[in-house]
Structure 1
Amino acid sequence: MTKPDDTIRILIPLKVRKKNGRPKILPPADYLPSEDQAQDPHVLRAIGRAWGWRRRMEAGEFSTIQELAEAVGLAERHVSRQLRLAYLAPEVLKRLTCGREPSAVSLYDLGFLAGAAWGEQIRQALDEATS
């Protein structure tokens, strides 16, 4: 058992603010994020969503993108654009989800890049990030 005088108190200077109606924890003003966390959470979420939609379509749950869009409550154009992320080159997906280097292209551009040949995808999405 610990005695009352053995208590250790740790103070972390965080602020809680509301953003979009939800509480958000803000770090101290002098906080610098770690450089080893280069993965964009928006890209990760979009890729995960695209793969989920792709599996549902391949399983026959939906026969068209329009049906899928109605089921998930999003615009058909948005679903179509996001669904392209499930067809990115395996090397691009691996480095975007597991790698630590940032992508040279935005999430919007990744959707258009999915239609290119895999070699071109790798060059545009990853090689330019190192230059």
Structure 2
Amino acid sequence: MTTATSITVRVPLAIRHRPGRKTVVSPMGDGVTPVTTRADPALVKALGRAFRYQRMLDEGRYASITEMATAEKIERGYLGNLLRLTLMAPDLVELVLDGRAADRVALPALLEPMPLAWAHQREHLLSDGPTRRAEPDVRIEA
């Protein structure tokens, strides 16, 4: 008669909580360093959708934002807010995608009306507090 035996396998891993997802980080051998990103998945997804919707408008797939919102089954106002993200300064988009703006910029702040001029956008989004300017601020509104 044989006795029951069991085998225990231990795999060293760490589960790290990231905004919106779980990441399994295994020990890396051979001197390879893991690629880490602090990019907020919600921001990245919103930017991706914004540029996709803008491309669809540019290609003439939809005649208007209202038509696109109906076809995509999303609110027209939200679609307009997303499309405003395509007018962000390229360096700000890069900061968001690289995860370097995660501590300072959140999706609700990006969906708010923001200045048209890229220099004013940088001041508006990256400053620690609201700044007062003597000249009137031109804002993008859908």
Closer, same or farther: CA 45–25 of 1 in aligned 2, 3 Å: closer
Closer, same or farther: CA 26–117 of 1 in aligned 2, 3 Å: closer
Between 59-68 and 104-113, report the one with greater CA deviation. 104-113
When Rg is computed on C-alpha atoms for both structures, the one with the higher figure is 2
The 3-state SS of whatever aligns with 1:128 is coil
- 2:123 is matched with which residue? 123
More helix per residue: 1
- 1:10 is matched with which residue? 11
- 2:89 is matched with which residue? 89
- CA distance in 1 between counterparts of 2:66 and 2:83 reads 12
- CA distance in 2 between counterparts of 1:13 and 1:55 reads 40
- 2:39 is matched with which residue? 39
Q: For 1:59-92, what per-residue CA distance to the aligned partner results, in whole angstroms no more than 9, with x for missing partners?
A: 1111110011011111111111111111111111
Alpha-carbon offset, residue 8 of structure 1? 6.0
- 2:102 is matched with which residue? 102
Q: For 1:22-57, what per-residue CA distance to the aligned partner results, in whole angstroms no more than 9, with x for missing partners?
A: xx8698xxxxxxxx6431110000000000000000
- CA distance in 2 between counterparts of 1:26 and 1:96 reads 19
Alpha-carbon offset, residue 113 of structure 1? 4.5
Alignment of 1:70 onto 2:70? yes
- 2:112 is matched with which residue? 112
Identity, in percent, stands at 26
Q: TM-score, normalised by structure 2?
A: 0.61
Runs of 4+ in 1 over 4 A off after TM superposition: 11-14, 24-27
What is the RMSD of the two structures over their aligned residues, measured on CA atoms? 3.0
Tell me the matched-pair count.
Answer: 106
> Residue type of the partner of 2:63?
S
Alpha-carbon offset, residue 100 of structure 1? 2.7
Alpha carbons 2:85, 2:110 under 8 Å: kept: yes
Alpha carbons 1:39, 1:99 under 8 Å: kept: yes
Closer, same or farther: CA 13–69 of 1 in aligned 2, 3 Å: same
The 3-state SS of whatever aligns with 2:100 is coil
Alpha carbons 1:113, 1:121 under 8 Å: kept: no
Q: TM-score, normalised by structure 1?
A: 0.66
